[in-house]
A and B are shown apart, each in its own frame.
Chain A
Amino acid sequence: MKLFFQQKSVGSPIYKTTPTRRQVLKFLPIASLPSALISSIKLSYSESEHLLLISAANDLEDNNFVVAMHSDGTQPWQEKFRQVLPERGHHVAVHVQSRRYVAVARRPGRSLLLGDARSGELLAEAALPMDRHLYGHGVFSSDGRRFYTTESAFTENEKDSGLVGEWLLENDRFIRVGEIRTEGIGPHELLLLPDEQILVVANGGMRTHPASEREVLNPETMQPSLVYIDLEKSVVVEKHSLPANLHQCSIRHLDVSKDGLIAMGLQYQGEPFDEVPLVATHRQGEDIKTIAIPEEIRSQLKQYIGSVRFTQDGKYFAASAPRGNRLCFFAVDEGEFITAISARDVCGLAPIGTGFLFSSGIGQIGAFDPEQGKLVSDTISFPLLWDNHMNVIQVESQWWQA
Chain B
Amino acid sequence: MYPIIKTTRSVVFFLLSSCSLGGISLYSAQAGEVESQYSEINLSVSKNLIIPAYQYFELQSNLLESAANEYCDLQSNANFETLQGSFHQTMDAWQAVQIYNFGPATLFNWNYRIQFWPDAKGSGPRQLKQLMEESDPVKLTEEVFPRLSVGVQGLPALETLLFTPSQERLADGFPCALAVAISANLSRGATDIRQRWEDGFLNDMRGEGNFFASAQDASVELLKVLSDRIEATDLQKLRSVIGESPDRVRLSRAESSNSARSIRNIKINMSALHALYSGTQPNLSGLFNKELADAIEVAFLESNKLLRELPDSFEEALAVPEGYRIVTEAASAIDRVYDALKVALADSTVYLGFNALDGD
Establish whether residues A304 and B359, one from each chain, have CB atoms under 8 Å apart when the complex forms: yes
**Given A342-B4, A361-B355, do A299 and B9 touch, yes or no (CB 8 Å)?**
no
Establish whether residues B3 and A344, one from each chain, have CB atoms under 8 Å apart when the complex forms: no
Establish whether residues B107 and A379, one from each chain, have CB atoms under 8 Å apart when the complex forms: no
Stretch at the interface among A2-10, A65-73, A120-128, A155-163: A2-10
Indicate whether A397 reaches chain B with its CB closer than 8 angstroms. no
Indicate whether A34 reaches chain B with its CB closer than 8 angstroms. yes
Query: What residues on B are CB-neighbors of A294 within 8 Å?
Result: 3
Query: What residues on A are CB-neighbors of B354 within 8 Å?
Result: 58, 345, 361-362, 385-387
Among A8, A347, A361, A374, point to the contact of B5 (Cβ < 8 A).
A374
Among B150, B211, B349, B356, point to the contact of A14 (Cβ < 8 A).
B349
Indicate whether B81 reaches chain A with its CB closer than 8 angstroms. no
Among A13, A272, A326, A381, point to the contact of B4 (Cβ < 8 A).
A326
Tell me the bound Cα distance from A362 to B350 in angstroms: 9
Indicate whether A45 reaches chain B with its CB closer than 8 angstroms. no
Establish whether residues A378 and B9, one from each chain, have CB atoms under 8 Å apart when the complex forms: yes
Indicate whether A132 reaches chain B with its CB closer than 8 angstroms. no
B-side interface size class:
35 or more
Indicate whether B330 reaches chain A with its CB closer than 8 angstroms. no
Indicate whether B31 reaches chain A with its CB closer than 8 angstroms. yes
Establish whether residues B351 and A34, one from each chain, have CB atoms under 8 Å apart when the complex forms: no
Establish whether residues B108 and A299, one from each chain, have CB atoms under 8 Å apart when the complex forms: yes
Stretch at the interface among B10-18, B66-74, B267-275, B317-325: B10-18
Establish whether residues A27 and B17, one from each chain, have CB atoms under 8 Å apart when the complex forms: yes
Indicate whether B353 reaches chain A with its CB closer than 8 angstroms. yes
Establish whether residues A11 and B16, one from each chain, have CB atoms under 8 Å apart when the complex forms: no
Query: What residues on B are CB-neighbors of A344 within 8 Å?
Result: 213, 217, 220, 353
Among A252, A272, A299, A362, point to the contact of B351 (Cβ < 8 A).
A362
Question: Chain B: which residue is nearest A11 at the CB level?
Answer: B217
Question: Chain A: which residue is nearest B353 at the CB level?
Answer: A345
Among B3, B11, B356, point to the contact of A9 (Cβ < 8 A).
B11
**Given A325-B356, A341-B5, A345-B356, do A13 and B350 touch, yes or no (CB 8 Å)?**
yes
Indicate whether B345 reaches chain A with its CB closer than 8 angstroms. yes
Establish whether residues B212 and A11, one from each chain, have CB atoms under 8 Å apart when the complex forms: yes
Query: What residues on B are CB-neighbors of A386 within 8 Å?
Result: 354-355
Query: What residues on B are CB-neighbors of A360 within 8 Å?
Result: 355
Indicate whether B80 reaches chain A with its CB closer than 8 angstroms. no
Establish whether residues A272 and B112, one from each chain, have CB atoms under 8 Å apart when the complex forms: yes
* Chain B 78-121: CB-based contact to A (< 8 A → 1; otherwise 0): 00000000000000000000000000001111001100100000
Tell me the bound Cα distance from A344 to B18 in angstroms: 24
**Given A344-B220, A347-B359, do A297 and B109 touch, yes or no (CB 8 Å)?**
no
Query: What residues on A are CB-neighbors of B14 within 8 Å?
Result: 6-7, 29, 31
Indicate whether A17 reaches chain B with its CB closer than 8 angstroms. yes
Establish whether residues A388 and B11, one from each chain, have CB atoms under 8 Å apart when the complex forms: no
Establish whether residues A17 and B347, one from each chain, have CB atoms under 8 Å apart when the complex forms: yes
- Nearest-Cβ distance from residue B353 to partner chain A, whole angstroms: 5
- Nearest-Cβ distance from residue A196 to partner chain B, whole angstroms: 27
Indicate whether A106 reaches chain B with its CB closer than 8 angstroms. yes
Indicate whether B55 reaches chain A with its CB closer than 8 angstroms. no
Most chain B beta-carbon contacts within 10 A, residue among A16, A106, A188, A385: A16
Indicate whether B8 reaches chain A with its CB closer than 8 angstroms. yes
Tell me the bound Cα distance from A102 to B357 in angstroms: 25
* Chain A 280-313: CB-based contact to B (< 8 A → 1; otherwise 0): 0000000000000011110110001010000000
Indicate whether A256 reaches chain B with its CB closer than 8 angstroms. no
Establish whether residues A273 and B109, one from each chain, have CB atoms under 8 Å apart when the complex forms: yes
Tell me the bound Cα distance from A345 to B353 in angstroms: 6
- Nearest-Cβ distance from residue B289 to partner chain A, whole angstroms: 12
Among B5, B116, B211, point to the contact of A339 (Cβ < 8 A).
B5
Establish whether residues A296 and B9, one from each chain, have CB atoms under 8 Å apart when the complex forms: no
**Given A17-B346, A341-B7, do A10 and B2 touch, yes or no (CB 8 Å)?**
no
Tell me the bound Cα distance from A363 to B9 in angstroms: 17
Establish whether residues B13 and A6, one from each chain, have CB atoms under 8 Å apart when the complex forms: yes
Query: What residues on B are CB-neighbors of A297 within 8 Å?
Result: 2-4
Query: What residues on B are CB-neighbors of A387 within 8 Å?
Result: 354-355
Establish whether residues B3 and A380, one from each chain, have CB atoms under 8 Å apart when the complex forms: no
Tell me the bound Cα distance from A340 to B14 in angstroms: 28
**Given A342-B6, A362-B353, do A106 and B360 touch, yes or no (CB 8 Å)?**
yes
Indicate whether A343 reaches chain B with its CB closer than 8 angstroms. yes
Most chain A beta-carbon contacts within 10 A, residue among B12, B31, B214, B353: B353
Establish whether residues B216 and A13, one from each chain, have CB atoms under 8 Å apart when the complex forms: yes
Establish whether residues A373 and B359, one from each chain, have CB atoms under 8 Å apart when the complex forms: no
- Nearest-Cβ distance from residue B302 to partner chain A, whole angstroms: 25
Tell me the bound Cα distance from A158 to B357 in angstroms: 30
Indicate whether B352 reaches chain A with its CB closer than 8 angstroms. yes
Query: What residues on B are CB-neighbors of A10 within 8 Å?
Result: 7-8, 213-214, 217
Among A27, A252, A273, point to the contact of B16 (Cβ < 8 A).
A27
Q: Which residues of A pack against B, CB within 8 Å?
A: 6-17, 26-27, 29, 31, 34, 58, 90, 106-107, 135-136, 188, 252, 271-273, 294-297, 299-300, 304, 306, 322-323, 325-326, 339-347, 360-363, 366, 368, 373-375, 378-381, 385-388
* 24 A-B residue pairs with CB within 8 Å: A7-B14, A9-B31, A9-B213, A10-B217, A13-B220, A13-B351, A15-B348, A16-B348, A17-B347, A136-B360, A296-B1, A297-B3, A299-B109, A339-B4, A340-B4, A342-B7, A345-B355, A345-B356, A361-B354, A368-B7, A378-B9, A385-B351, A385-B354, A385-B355
A-B pairs, top 8 by smallest CB distance, nearest first, are A11-B217, A361-B354, A11-B213, A10-B7, A322-B355, A361-B355, A17-B346, A10-B213
Further pairs besides A326-B4, A386-B355: 10, Cβ < 8 Å? A6-B14, A9-B216, A10-B7, A340-B4, A361-B356, A373-B5, A375-B9, A378-B9, A379-B7, A385-B354
Q: Which residues of B pack against A, CB within 8 Å?
A: 1-9, 11-18, 31, 35, 106-109, 112-113, 116, 150, 210-214, 216-217, 220, 345-357, 359-360
